[in-house]
Structure 1
Amino acid sequence: MLKIIGFFLVVYLTSTTQSILSLGKTVKEGENVDIGCSLSANEGVNWFFQPENSKLKFLLYFTSSGKTMYKKDSRLECRRSTGTVSLTVKGFRKEHSGKYYCVMVRNMNMEFGNVVARYLEEIKTTPKTTTAVTSATVKPTTASEKTSCTTAESGLAKKVGKISCHLFIWGPLTCAASMLLLALIVVSILYCKRPRRRRCQHQFRRRLIPENMCSVDGIISPI
């Protein structure tokens, strides 16, 4: 039954061409807000709620005998006074902002009350302005100081360029000379450690004179 009523309420709100009274009002957080229904009768009343940018929701059903049924929020209370029904939201919060609808079924016909809108009041805060105090003073540079700085920088750049050129030229030469010197030292050490040849002893041995030979005054002649 509630789904049928909600469906017809949506159809009525989207298809009706009559101007529906919509009272928008801002409410402070924590206040108790009374929302009255424009319908006057002693029948039961259904309350619906549509939050901001959301779908329609069922809140409660208030019977003709003054009982609240199917209540979805403990902060909601409903009462009847002189043939009119009103809804009270206790401790209004952000989630209670939106549009409220009352629907009544009378003589097998559905009657829709006016739309009542209530929104939470937004508290605007102004940012504090902070002033930063700087005690340091900036001294402007004169033309003479600028020229002296530029000349000093150019002289330093020239010196650095000369040093880099000298390193580029003399570096490889020094490296090649040291490599040659090292090679000469290694070759000389290896040459000095090489073992010398020994003369054969058989060259200096005394030759044996045969027995049939004799020497006279150092002259060897056969016998």
Structure 2
Amino acid sequence: MARFVSLLFFLSLSLCCCRSQGQKSKMSVRFHRGSSPLSLRANVELECVISDHSLSDSGVSWVRQYRDSAPQFILFVTSLGRVAPTENGKPPEHFQAKKESSNYRLTVTSFQEQDQGNYYCIVNHNQRLHFSSGIPLHLPGCCRSQGQKSKMSVRFHRGSSPLSLRANVELECVISDHSLSDSGVSWVRQYRDSAPQFILFVTSLGRVAPTENGKPPEHFQAKKESSNYRLTVTSFQEQDQGNYYCIVNHNQRLHFSSGIPLHLPAPATTAAPPKATTPQPSTTTTRSRELGGCKPFPTTEKAPKKGMDLSCNIFIWAPLASTCLLLLIALLATITVYETTRRRRCKCKRPMHGNNGKPSLPNRYV
């Protein structure tokens, strides 16, 4: 019974959490054994570890992302360990890559300031992008890395509802390079510093590719209009918050759009108005008026004093002292009179003569 109650408790905590939770990744990036410590002009070796062996034969794309900027494509390594050429037909500068067993390795030769950022490896398998967890590479106290100019951008679709809870939000992926518009688009979401999360893939015909369970993604709709691709988030929820990107995979190269942040506004908190304080009437002034116009004792801010001045004290204490003195005199007079009367009264009994104890007459009367 106790285990059941504790299970319900932790389940409720997980459901009540407002933050958008990341998906558990099947891939991770780590430093290769024997790699040099991160420093300027050092050779840094990273390794992409793939736990799901079904993904290890699809090749790997390496990307770099600096803080809030869009991810930047570095290179693509085929399942045979060959590095695909870049747009100019040359291998990428000071980057080397190869495959070892089921893992993929990336070497940054002579690490520079512009190489800073979070590094991810991505696998495109069955029209679905699988992102690894990222590894940060930042030089201490160094300047910011400059991002590449993107050929794509994400914006709100015209007529889209304002961002609010349970509203329908429509985004549009605008592709300025028409050679990329016929390769389909992948939509991803990234919450703060976590790894990007794949949402869905839209083919060049405007069809949404099924997810792993064979069903369309929940409360997400997508289609193609002309050369642009649209994503609709129906009934926007708290877990849908993050930066949204669209990605085009063209000629073994990932093209990232600039991101658009979708974050619900924080609830406005109104400060309580200050309570109006009414000045309390001074009891000292009222008492002074009742006592015959006595002036209140002057007060200062440093040492406030309460009471009345010397003239008021005389008016109070003089009658009181006189009354006490009269009472004392009357008390003394009463005691003196009482003692005098007591002394005059004779309390001695006359001597008893004769029979039967009766007093006898004096001799002069006999």
TM-score of the superposed pair, with normalisation by structure 2: 0.33
Bigger helix share: 1
- Which of structures 1 and 2 has the larger relative contact order (alpha carbons within 8 angstroms, sep 6+)? 1
TM-score of the superposed pair, with normalisation by structure 1: 0.50
